[in-house]
Amino acid sequence: MLIFGGMALVAAGMLFGDIFAVFVLHQNGGQTGQALLAAARAVAAQDPSAVNIAFAHLGNLLEDRGTKVDAHVHMIDAGYLALLLALMQPYVALAAPSKKLLAKLFLTGGLLLPLGIFLIHYVGLDYAPLPVVGWASVLADSAGALLIVVLLVEGWGFWNYVRGRRARPVEPELPKDRTWERRTLLSGGTVLILMGFVFGAWYAGANLHEHENREIVILNDLLDQPAGAGGLADSVNAYGGLQAEKAVQIAAHSHIIEFGLLAILLSFVQPYVFLTERWKRIWVKVLLAGSVILPVFVLLELKLGLLAGGIADVGGLMVLVALVGMLVGVVRHTGSLDAAARGAR
Amino acid sequence: MSRSRKILIFGGTVLAVLGMLYGLHYAVFVEHQTLDRMSGSLAGAFAHAAERGGDDSKDALTAYRETKYDYVRQVDLHSHWIGLAMLLIVLGVVFDEVAFAERARFAVALAMLAGSIVFPLGVILQTVHMAPLGSVLAIAGSALVIAALGATAVGFMREGAS
């Protein structure tokens, strides 16, 4: 349940991310720039009420974008955690029905958390229980709390295992194979994560403070424009460029690490992927290729424009297709187990 | 189960719970208010500028800068803590396949756990007027994680993994 549910959550989160990148991200960025330009023009025209209107629109756009990014990230991370819990089950000393209930609760929380986050923008503060917390936030926070409770109980079960207690039936440990697929996913995933860490360290050292300072300089420029000045559009473009620069660097850093983690996690479930060796290798190659293509071309987006963006989206799609391919293998595996059990009866 | 695996899996689980509890606390009690303050101060900077209130505008922009500086690091703390925790648990499951002696594996696992705690801690210290110490800890923590991960990658690639 946790393996299938985890892979399904990751696949759904990736599909949502791809749809968001193609249909929402760039359009939202353009509208944000327009709203900031309107605010700057209102400053030049000495019209505070127009400033407030422009900022209300800007806040709305940022919330729209932010909640969608968060829903994408949280759904994938909940999927990763489900896969992790699946791997940990042999070391969790709890009774089988308790483990099953915990798995159901975790998958429910993993689905409701991103759903709640997604709805924040649409539900807003209608009939809100608190001045700044709406019902969608309550749903998301409750689902998050549910995940924490499940993790705490699983941690307690693991603590029992470490102390030597065992609950019957004991689940078998993961098969330790050294197949090509497992080794390639394991070492490829580790190298992807290492690349992401090194890039992140470089970003934090070289760009983080510079970006923060540049943002304030650009905003100061916008505020200091005299009425009717023609430089407003240039400043807004500079601000948009800075936001894009930050976004692609953070996206490259986070995606390459996430894909590395996914590759390592998928290396564990290979014994449960009921496909021919040829197809298993194809999906491994497609997954790793997509895992490199997406972050590299996201980084190149500033230089190559939409072409790079399109290639990055294809990279994301490759990872998604490979994941669904493996998921089909897991479904076939469970089917073969069911068939064998029926045959034995 | 080897000591290195135990330290990674148990340390990672504790870190994940801590990261989630911190995120939940931040989301419920701090984030909405912070976002309101951040957007309010930026809008205020523009509104004051429109009213030709130069000093008030600068003050609001400073408030925006400080709030955003804190917000970015708080979110970074939450996401990096949970991300690193997941990495620890994942590697813990398969750490026996790192082709080093158990003593070396334990040292690598310990370095990875220490780095995973210290790095985000350094990031958060930057928000409580301890920026130099925070930066030192963040750099040291990330260097530890990178070195340990490099060693792990080498271990996975070496022949003779168990």
How far B46 CA lies from chain A's nearest CA (Å)? 6
pLDDT digits (tens, 9 = 90+) for A192-201: 999 999 999 9
Mutation target among B46, B61, B94, B135 for the A interface, most CBs of A within 10 A: B46
| Residue at B58 is within a domain | yes
B27 to chain A: which residues are within 8 Å by CB? Answer: 137, 140-141, 144
In sequence order, what are the residues at sequence separation of 6 or more whose Cβ sits closer than 8 angstroms to the Cβ of residue B54?
B48
| Residues in B touching A140 (Cβ below 8 Å) | 27
The answer to whether A132 contacts B97, with C-beta atoms less than 8 Å apart, is no
pLDDT at A335 over 80: no
A-chain CB neighbours of B94 within 8 Å are 186, 264, 267-268
- CA-nearest residue to A266 within chain B is B90
Taking CB atoms and an 8 Å limit, are A155 and B14 in contact across chains? yes
Q: Show Cβ contacts of residue A259 under 8 Å, excluding neighbours closer than 6 positions.
A: A189, A192, A287, A290, A291, A294, A295, A319
Region of poorest pLDDT, from A9-23, A92-106, A115-129, A165-179: A165-179
- According to the model, what pLDDT value does residue A205 have? 86
Structure token pair of residue B67: 């709030």
- Domain ranges in chain A are 1-167, 178-345
Q: What's the burial of A339, exposed, middle or buried (CB within 10 Å: 0-12/13-18/19+)? A: exposed
Give the pLDDT band of residue A230 (cuts 50, 70, 90): low
Q: Rounded to a whole number, what is the distance in Å from the CA of B134 to chain A's nearest CA?
A: 13
Contact of A213 with chain B, judged by CB distance below 8 Å, is answered with no
The total number of structural domains in chain B stands at 1
Spell out the residues 6+ positions from residue A256 whose beta carbon is closer than 8 angstroms to its own: A192, A193, A195, A196, A199, A291, A292, A295
Residues of A in contact with B91 (CB under 8 A): 264
Is residue B131, in this structure, part of any structural domain at all? Answer: yes
Residues A289-305 have a mean pLDDT of: 91
Q: Please provide residue A169's backbone torsions phi and psi, each rounded to the nearest 5 degrees.
A: -80, 145
Question: Residue A109, exposed/middle/buried by CB under 10 A (0-12, 13-18, 19+)?
Answer: buried
- Look up the pTM and report it: 0.81
Q: CA nearest A85: which of B109, B90, B84?
A: B90
The answer as to whether B71 is a domain residue is: yes
Q: Which whole number is the average pLDDT over A289-293?
A: 95
Please check whether residue B160 lies inside any domain of the structure.
no
Of the listed ranges A189-203, A216-230, A276-290, B60-74, the least confidently predicted one is A216-230
Interchain contact A155–B (C-beta under 8 A):
yes
- Asked whether residue B57 is domain-assigned, the answer is yes
For residue A130, is pLDDT > 80?
no
Q: Which residue of B has its CA nearest to A88?
A: B93
Structure-derived torsion over alpha carbons of residues A250, A252, A253, A258, reported in degrees to the nearest 10 = 120
Q: Give the mean pLDDT of A45-49.
A: 84
Residue B148 inside a domain? The answer is: yes
Would you state the structure tokens that stand for residue A253, as one six-digit string? 């850093």
Q: Check CB contact of A198 with chain B, cutoff 8 Å.
A: yes
A30-to-A36, A65, A241, A267 alpha-carbon distances in Å = 10, 12, 11, 40
| B159 is a domain residue | no
Domain range enclosing B34 = 3-154
Span B77-126, pLDDT tens digits: 888 888 899 899 889 988 888 888 999 999 999 999 999 999 988 888 88
Q: HSE of A283 in the Cβ direction (CA atoms, 13 Å)?
A: 23
Question: How many whole angstroms separate alpha carbon A117 and alpha carbon A324?
Answer: 25
CB pair distance less than 8 Å for A190 and B142 = no
Q: What is the dihedral sign for C-alpha B107, B112, B117, B122? A: positive
Taking the CA of residue A345 and the nearest CA in chain B, the distance in Å comes to 35
Contact B57 A223 (CB under 8 A): yes
pLDDT at A127: 75
Give the nearest partner residue to A193 out of B46, B87, B93, using CB atoms. B87
Q: What is the pLDDT of residue A28?
A: 84
Model confidence at A278: pLDDT above 60: yes
Evaluate whether residue B162 is within a structural domain: no
Q: Does A232 touch chain B (CB under 8 A)?
A: no
User: Average pLDDT in the A71-87 region?
Assistant: 89
Q: pLDDT of B20-60, one tens digit each?
A: 888 888 877 888 888 888 888 888 888 888 888 778 888 98
Q: pLDDT-based confidence at A226, cuts 50/70/90?
A: low
Mean per-residue pLDDT, A301-316: 88
Residues 25-84 of A with CB under 8 A from B: 39-40, 42-43, 45-48, 50-52, 54-55, 58-59, 62, 77, 80-81, 84
Neighbours of A209 (CB within 10 A): 12
